Amino acid sequence: MPMVLRVGVAGASGYAGGEVLRLLAQHPGVEIGAVTAYSQVGETLGSVHPHLGSLADRVFVATAPQALAGHDVVILALPHGASGPLAADLPDDVLVIDCGADHRLASSKDWERFYGGDHPGTWTYGLPELITGSSGAEEPLTQRHLIRNSRRIAVPGCNVTAVTLALGPGIASGLLEAQDLVAVLANGPSGAGRALKPHLLASEILGSASPYQVGGVHRHIPEILQNLRAANPDAEPTISFTPTLVPMARGILATVTARLTTTMDDDGPLRDAYTRAYAGERFVTFLPPGQWPSTAATLGANTAHLQLALDRDAKRAVIVAAIDNLVKGTAGAAIQCLNIASGFPEETGLTLNGVAP
């Protein structure tokens, strides 16, 4: 067990930053250092995050390299474009974990197309359960071994986590076609951040469901494709990806379909591939037959729940994944990576238990 680590959180006034602090507050191996913000500098943390009673008297300081100096770990919960310049001023021996998009993509062309501007660079990808070798092996290779030896880690996008976990074993095993993938997601608006946006007002969301970033333009698409190529280097994946805002504060329910590569009499081969791939994963639960994921069951937990079925007439598999976008989709993934890179047991400070109803 490593000694107690001092952790600074940049962008701590937002939803992701607040969730990082909630999880750090129950982590026995860390001491929370600087908490930084932009417009809330000088305000108390309790005035912005009243649910974080144990940290209520802490005061936000300006987001600057000086404020983050002297920390063992820095977690960045900043809008895209803000993490790169700040991280460049932090020492190489500091563990920096970016919850934003700046360092996820390996392709500068993908960055320029979907985000615009200069590519900030590529860090170790922070999805421990990402399959990076054939799931035909007894223990599939995963991204975990790269995280363990890294000091710069990029946490995945929340939608990406749900879709990647839903498709990874099927693509890696060769049982699912990588092309003509379809993903439709129900999303809580907290995934869009805390900034005031008219289309996210309660009066717009309550009693309504509406799609957004439709038609292949969502910024998480290249990241999903990147992950599927990691799972199967022979794959040339394509995906139709449609997120939908629904009136729940947090959570993602991803319904993903894929063509089968071979005729199946039942779902046994697919079920075996998913069971084998996730057998050793503490935070991914492949549910028993007939039990379907729900966002309520993963609320507040660092868990992903999965289930599948065959649509024989359509010759497709249907895989459903549920996560909490602020925990397994963001802050929980950051703490999970902190644990792996720092030598803590992977589950330290994290819970498998949701808070339903």
* 340-350 pLDDT per residue, tens: 999 999 999 99
| 8 Å CB contact between 83 and 66 | no
What confidence tens digit (pLDDT) does each residue in 161-191 have? Answer: 999 999 999 999 999 999 999 999 999 876 5
Inter-CA distances, 73 with 63, 196, 297, Å: 15, 30, 31
Distance CA 83, CA 71 (A): 16
Find all residues with CB under 8 Å of 343, minimum gap 6, and list them.
1, 2
pLDDT confidence band for 76 (50 / 70 / 90): very high
- Give the range among 43-47, 92-96, 156-160, 188-192 with minimum mean pLDDT: 188-192
User: Which among 56-60, 78-82, 261-265 has the top mean pLDDT?
Assistant: 56-60
Has residue 197 got a pLDDT over 70?
no
Predicted local confidence at residue 196, as pLDDT: 53
Residue with tokens 């860390």: 30
pLDDT confidence band for 153 (50 / 70 / 90): very high
53-58: average pLDDT: 96
Q: Exactly one of 158, 160, 273, 340 is catalytic; which is it?
A: 158
pLDDT confidence band for 41 (50 / 70 / 90): very high
pLDDT confidence band for 200 (50 / 70 / 90): low
What percent of the chain is predicted at pLDDT more than 70? 93
Neighbouring C-beta atoms of residue 267, cutoff 10 Å: 16
Task: Judge whether 337 counts as a catalytic residue.
Answer: no
Between 310 and 134, the higher pLDDT residue: 310
Instruction: Write out the two tokens for 195.
Output: 């900034």
Q: Which of 64, 81, 77, 65 is nearest to 17 (CA)?
A: 77
What confidence tens digit (pLDDT) does each residue in 98-134 have? Answer: 999 999 999 999 999 999 988 999 999 999 999 997 5
What percent of the chain is predicted at pLDDT more than 90? 84
What confidence tens digit (pLDDT) does each residue in 204-260 have? Answer: 767 788 888 899 999 999 999 999 999 999 989 999 999 999 988 899 999 999 999
Predicted local confidence at residue 143, as pLDDT: 95
Residues comprising the chain, all counted = 357
146-165: average pLDDT: 97
Structural element, H or E, at residue 73: strand 73-76
Mean pLDDT of the chain, nearest integer: 92
Distance CA 66, CA 176 (A): 49
Structural element, H or E, at residue 136: none
Has residue 140 got a pLDDT over 70?
no
Predicted local confidence at residue 72, as pLDDT: 97
At residue 350, φ and ψ (nearest 5 deg) are -120, 155
Q: What global pTM score does this model have? A: 0.94
Has residue 63 got a pLDDT over 90?
yes
- Give the three-class secondary structure for 92: coil
pLDDT confidence band for 80 (50 / 70 / 90): confident
